[in-house]
């Protein structure tokens, strides 16, 4: 069985969408390494390209995806499905980044029909005051 792996989750999602099958055993592997005193985790998505059709399709998608990183060239063909898929996945990545790094975490406390939202910058005195109002 011939197989390939990709480390880009967006590319793995596109390969899935175009019907390139994942390999049966261990389709996803996670590597955890120590680098400069930090734990770094990475993923590999493995695809079964043992048939000529799957192999050609995977090569075509990977090559097109690589070219898609050059938006000046790639945006010339707005009807190409990879153009839209790549755009959607980039928006997803941007939204996840906003969620993880830009959204203010709020603690939600509910008691009966009352709800209190407590932000991270609220002083302890104000927190206690809001909790008392419940």
68 pLDDT band (50/70/90 cuts)? low
What pLDDT score was predicted for residue 69? 60
- Give the CB-side neighbour count of residue 126, counting CA atoms within 13 A: 8
Tokens describing residue 108: 């939600």
What is the mean pLDDT of the segment spanning 8-29?
A: 89
In eight-state DSSP terms, residue 81 is H
> Tell me: the pLDDT tens digits for 23-67?
998 999 988 888 888 888 888 999 999 999 999 999 988 888 887
- Answer yes or no: are the C-beta atoms of 82 and 64 closer than 8 Å: yes
Res. 76: pLDDT tops 70: no
In whole angstroms, what is the distance from residue 62 CA to residue 86 CA? Answer: 12
In this prediction, residue 49 carries a pLDDT of 97
Instruction: pLDDT band for 6, please (50, 70, 90 cuts).
Output: very high
Domain parsing of the chain, residue ranges: 3-102, 106-134
The string of pLDDT tens digits covering residues 85-113 is 777 777 788 778 777 777 777 888 888 88
């Amino acid at each position: 069985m011939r197989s390939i792996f990709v480390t880009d989750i967006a590319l793995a999602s596109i390969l899935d969408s175009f019907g390139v099958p994942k390999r049966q055993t261990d389709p996803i592997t996670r590597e955890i390494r120590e680098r400069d005193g930090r734990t770094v985790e990475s993923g590999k998505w493995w695809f079964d390209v043992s048939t000529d059709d799957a192999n050609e399709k995977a090569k075509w998608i990977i090559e097109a995806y690589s070219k898609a990183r050059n938006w000046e060239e790639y945006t010339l063909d707005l009807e190409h499905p990879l153009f839209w898929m790549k755009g959607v996945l980039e928006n997803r990545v941007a939204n996840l980044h906003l969620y993880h790094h830009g959204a203010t975490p709020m603690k939600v406390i509910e008691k009966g029909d009352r709800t209190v939202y407590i932000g991270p910058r609220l002083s302890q005195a104000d927190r206690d005051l809001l909790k008392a109002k419940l």
